Amino acid sequence: MNFPEKLDNKLSERGATNSLRKLTNQNNLIDFSSNDYLGFSKSKEIFEKAHQYLAENNLQQNGATGSRLLSGNHELHEQVEQQLTSFFNSEAALLFNSGYDANVGLFSSVPQRGDVILYDEYIHASIRDGIRLSNAKAYSFKHNDLADLEQQILRQAQNDSLRHTELVEVYVATESVFSMDGDSPDLIALSKLCKKHKAHLIVDEAHAVGVLGKNGCGFVSELNLEKVVFATIVTFGKAMGCHGAAILGSEKLKEYLINFARSFIYTTALPPHALATIKMAFDELVIMNDMNLPAVGRESQQEKLQVNIQYFNQQQSTNNNQLNFIKSNSAIHCCIIPGNENVKSIANQLQEKGFDVKPILSPTVAKGQERLRICLHTYNSKQEIDEVLKLLTTFVTTSP
């Protein structure tokens, strides 16, 4: 069959700009690229506990058999949702098959025609796709810039007044930890700004869950913002080491999403084994942070990760001033190395030395903002951190 010429041309353009994506197999390199921040995806204990739970509850079922509105709803879905509401101190939770599904479902169904979505210019692609499917008007604001956001809110209010229309609903979308920069907004100031202007704040916590906040609860719960944030997206494919996501919010929001979020309505539900793994991963977070356990040897995975984050920041700031790192207190650390060819070359050199560090290319990020994205984990040693920074400094300073 002849492949469509327009599509072939787009692939050729990607190849010409050194931005053509390809799938690669897992390797045995030292992991500085995955989102498995706590090592939960490799946890034999979580795996065995999930299997044991399924066996003890006679849940020997490979699939959900249908959507939750048909044959796929199971009491385990509701148990996990209740577990999540308790863990995150939320009124309600609704499970989705992935963070992508959650964001597409939320943003495509909640904002209505005539409403306005204001989103951080660095917002995740899944939120952008959800916005495209909505009937609302959407505008970006400068990254983590509350002054620019407020100007846009006031501009929209003025436009509504000039049109003599009823006040529209305004939704503000941000991330608590941005996936391509590793930085965070001032959520307290942002929530106050939204409250002042009666805007609905939506926060994606994908890279904060399990990493930041008490017991890994993320920023919204840690800052006691559950009652002022309209919707919080939490995902399980990163620090939790499994799969799926949930939207946290009010009972009314949950009811609305069940009725109108197409990515929830028209998909087969998560199977029991996925739900059991989510349940055991969150149980593990609570257990490893239980202050009633003996103090000897009880440093949690979350605490180990924080030690590595602090050590990495200390080492790269004191010994590697020539590296252009974006400031971050999360597990994500990005070194700006402009040019797809240049950043890919340095990533390849690091991989040849045994370190799995991935380049982030344009158009995923803006041209000139290409970067190496280094993800830290509990299982990275200080020696490995020292070595990867030393090699990175050498390769950057000697590159053309």
Instruction: Tell me, yes or no, whether 17 lies in a domain.
Output: no
Question: How many angstroms separate the CA atoms of 47 and 41, rounded?
Answer: 9
Whether residue 140 is found in the same domain as residue 70:
yes
Mean pLDDT, the chain, integer: 93
Point out the domain boundary residue: 287, 322, 354.
287
Instruction: Tell me, yes or no, whether 372 lies in a domain.
Output: yes
CATH (domain of 390)? 3.90.1150.10
Please, are residues 25 and 351 in contact by the beta-carbon 8 Å criterion?
no
Whether residue 115 is found in the same domain as residue 257:
yes
Range of the domain at 380: 299-398
Q: Which of 285, 359, 381 is nearest to 49 (CA)?
A: 285
> SS3 for 57?
coil
pLDDT at 296: 43
pLDDT at 19: 86
Whether residue 245 is found in the same domain as residue 316:
no
Region 336-364: what's the mean pLDDT? 94
Whether residue 51 is found in the same domain as residue 174:
yes
pLDDT at residue 332 greater than cutoff 70? yes
pLDDT tens for residues 289-303? 765 555 445 568 888
- Cα 252 to chain centroid distance, Å, stands at 24
pLDDT at 293: 53
Low-confidence winner among 86-100, 221-235, 255-269, 285-299 (lowest mean pLDDT)? 285-299
pLDDT at 156: 86
Region 215-228: what's the mean pLDDT? 95
Point out the domain boundary residue: 287, 317, 350.
287
Kindly tell me the burial class for residue 96, based on how many C-beta atoms sit within 10 Å of its own C-beta (0-12, 13-18, 19 or more): buried
- Cα 12 to chain centroid distance, Å, stands at 31
Instruction: Tell me, yes or no, whether 338 lies in a domain.
Output: yes
pLDDT at residue 162 greater than cutoff 60? no
Whether residue 237 is found in the same domain as residue 344:
no
pLDDT at residue 1 greater than cutoff 90? no
Region 224-244: what's the mean pLDDT? 97
Higher pLDDT among residues 28 and 48, named by residue: 48
Residues in the chain, overall count: 400
Point out the domain boundary residue: 287, 319, 337.
287
Whether residue 263 is found in the same domain as residue 345:
no
Instruction: Tell me, yes or no, whether 19 lies in a domain.
Output: no
Whether residue 55 is found in the same domain as residue 166:
yes
Question: How many angstroms separate the CA atoms of 35 and 375, rounded?
Answer: 7
Whether residue 332 is found in the same domain as residue 384:
yes
Whether residue 215 is found in the same domain as residue 355:
no
pLDDT class for 318, splitting at 50, 70, 90?
confident
Whether residue 336 is found in the same domain as residue 394:
yes
pLDDT at residue 170 greater than cutoff 50? yes
pLDDT at 398: 82
Region 213-221: what's the mean pLDDT? 93
Whether residue 130 is found in the same domain as residue 206:
yes
Region 121-134: what's the mean pLDDT? 97
pLDDT at residue 67 greater than cutoff 80? yes
Whether residue 106 is found in the same domain as residue 184:
yes
pLDDT class for 115, splitting at 50, 70, 90?
very high
pLDDT tens for residues 41-58? 999 999 999 999 999 999
Question: How many angstroms separate the CA atoms of 85 and 378, rounded?
Answer: 26
Instruction: Tell me, yes or no, whether 116 lies in a domain.
Output: yes
Q: What is the domain count for the chain?
A: 2
pTM of the model: 0.93
Region 341-370: what's the mean pLDDT? 94
pLDDT at residue 106 greater than cutoff 50? yes
Region 268-282: what's the mean pLDDT? 97
> SS3 for 387?
helix
